[in-house]
Amino acid sequence: MTINQAIRILDPDTSAEALGEIEYYGGLRGKEKVLVACDEACRIAVEIMRQHLKE
């Protein structure tokens, strides 16, 4: 996942659309794919925030 994808998932202005796309293209496992994507986006965000704190 790219940083831009993580932003789309976590930004309230774009999250519904981004998560809807993930669920749609995930087919029968759409809801599971949404959870995985949210977890990954959160991990990316936390990593960036931790790097920022070190600076």
> Angle at the Cα of 23 (from 18 to 29), degrees rounded to 5?
150
Residues constituting the chain:
55
Condensed to tens digits (0 to 9), the pLDDT of residues 36-52 reads: 999 999 999 999 999 99
Residue closest to 9 by CA, chosen among 52, 42, 31, 33:
42
Domain ranges of the chain: 3-54
Q: What is the mean pLDDT of the chain?
A: 97
Tell me the Ramachandran region of residue 27: left when phi exceeds 0, alpha when psi lies from -120 to 50, beta otherwise. Answer: left
CA distances from 29 to 8, 23, 47, 48 (A): 20, 8, 27, 29
Q: Which pLDDT value is given to residue 47?
A: 97
Q: Is residue 55 scored above 90 in pLDDT?
A: no
